[in-house]
Amino acid sequence: MRHFVFVSVLVGVALAASVSRAADEEFLRRGAYVGIGASRGFNFFDDAFQDAFRSNAVEVNDTWGLNARAGYRFTKWFALEGEYEWLDRFQAGVGTFDIAEVTTHTVTVNVRFVAPIGRIQPYFLMGFGGTFFDVHNQSFFGVDTDDAVPCGRIGAGFDFYVTRNLLLNLGAEGVLNDAKVQSHFIGDSGHGLEYVALQFGLGYRF
Query: pLDDT digits over 10-26, tens only?
Result: 433 333 333 344 446 78
Kindly report the pTM of this predicted structure.
0.85
Query: pLDDT digits over 83-115, tens only?
Result: 999 999 999 999 888 999 999 999 999 999 999
Q: Is the pLDDT of residue 9 over 80?
A: no
Residue 92 CB neighbour total at 10 angstroms: 27
Q: How many domains does the chain have?
A: 1
Note the helical H segments in the chain: 2-27, 46-53
130 alpha carbon, distance to own chain's centre: 14
C-alpha dist (Å) from residue 113 to 35, 62, 183: 17, 29, 41
Range of the domain at 142: 2-205
Question: Looking at residue 100, which CATH number applies to its domain?
Answer: 2.40.160.20
C-alpha dist (Å) from residue 183 to 54, 61, 72, 116, 176: 10, 18, 43, 49, 22
Residue 1 confidence (pLDDT): 52
More confident call, 142 vs 201 = 201
Residue 24 confidence (pLDDT): 67
The side-by-side arrangement of strands in the sheet containing 143-145 is 143-145, 180-183, 189-191
Residue type, 125: L
Mean pLDDT of the chain: 88
Query: pLDDT digits over 126-141, tens only?
Result: 999 999 999 998 877 7
Q: Which of 56-70, 157-171, 175-189 has the lowest mean pLDDT?
A: 175-189
Q: How far apart, in whole angstroms, are the C-alpha atoms of residue 160 and residue 63?
A: 26
DSSP, collapsed to helix, strand or coil, labels residue 75 as coil
Q: Is the pLDDT of residue 203 over 70?
A: yes
Q: Is the pLDDT of residue 154 over 70?
A: yes
Q: Confidence class of residue 125 from pLDDT cuts 50, 70 and 90?
A: very high
